Amino acid sequence: MPEKVAIEMTVNGKRYEGLVEPRLSLADFLRDQLGLTGTHLGCEQGICGSCTVLFNGETVRSCLLLAVQAQGGAILRVEGLAAKAKNGAPLHPIQQGFIETLGFQCGFCTPGFLITIYEFLGENPSPSEAEIRER
């Protein structure tokens, strides 16, 4: 059995520590060791995007990133979006928009979509329809 490695990272603004096997994915660390199950696993091969989180300000597929590679980093997951809502709103405007337009559909991949859109609007707050479709 491989030797475990001590890691620490910030998730949604809260510091966490763990002891992990070097091959453990960030997604499995978040879900199984930290009990943060808001990020979902679909394909587990980097295609579907369900597991997308923001890592040090950039989206990553948490099924492809090893937990040890996230050592010392800052992770924003879907639960952390609501904390970024303003004026006392319970949800981030992106989350509210998904509800109002039924954008969540079945909801399984919604956490990945929300984080992807959050990153996109941070880079381009007023995208054209073409830019949205491209993204």
**Stretch near ligand FES under the rule CB under 6 A, chosen from 38-46, 81-89, 90-98, 113-121:** 38-46
Residue nearest to ligand FES (CB): 63
42 near ligand FES, judged by CB under 6 A: yes
The answer to whether residue 48 forms part of the interface with ligand FES (CB under 6 A) is: yes
| Of the candidate residues 18, 38, 49, 127, the single one contacting ligand FES (CB under 6 A) | 49
Determine which residue in the list 63, 65, 67, 81 makes contact with ligand FES, applying CB under 6 A: 63
Alpha helices in the chain (DSSP H): 26-28, 78-82, 93-101, 110-123, 129-134
Query: Considering only residues 41, 85, 91, 121, which one is a binding residue for ligand FES as defined by CB under 6 A?
Result: 41
Q: What separation in angstroms does the CA of 111 have from each of 59, 67, 135?
A: 12, 19, 16
Q: What are phi and psi of 58, to 5 degrees?
A: -125, 145
Those residues with Cβ within 8 angstroms of residue 41's Cβ, 6 or more apart along the chain or in another chain: 27, 31, 50, 51, 63
Binding site for ligand FES (CB under 6 A): 41-44, 46-51, 61, 63
